[in-house]
Amino acid sequence: MKKLLLIIVIIIASLNFLYTFGYQGEPMSQLEFLSRTLGSIIILVFSIIQLNKVTTKP
C-alpha cells in the first residue's frame, strides 16, 4: 500500500513539474515559478528515495 501511495505522489509531482513549464495563463511571478518548480523537484526526489528504501527492504 505504501508503494502505491509513493508512486501516486511521484506521478502527481511529475505532472505538476511539467504543468509549470507548459502553463499558458496569467504570467507567474518568479517566486511562484521557483516555489512550484523546486517544490515539485523536492517532493519528487524525496518520494523516489522513499520508494527505493521500501522496495529494497529485506
Going from the C-alpha of 32 to that of each of 11, 20, 29, 37, 38, the distances in angstroms are 21, 10, 5, 8, 10
Tens of pLDDT, residues 1-43: 889 999 999 999 999 999 988 888 888 899 999 999 999 999 9
Q: How many distinct structural domains can be found in the chain?
A: 1
In Å, the largest CA–CA distance within the chain is 49
Range of the domain at 40: 2-55
The predicted model scores a pTM of 0.83
User: Where do we find the cell 511571478?
Assistant: 29
State the helix-helix crossing angle for 2-22 and 30-55, rounded to 10 degrees. 150
Query: What is residue 1's predicted lDDT score, i.e. its pLDDT?
Result: 86
Query: What is residue 45's predicted lDDT score, i.e. its pLDDT?
Result: 96
Query: What is residue 25's predicted lDDT score, i.e. its pLDDT?
Result: 81
The residue-averaged pLDDT of 40-58 equals 92
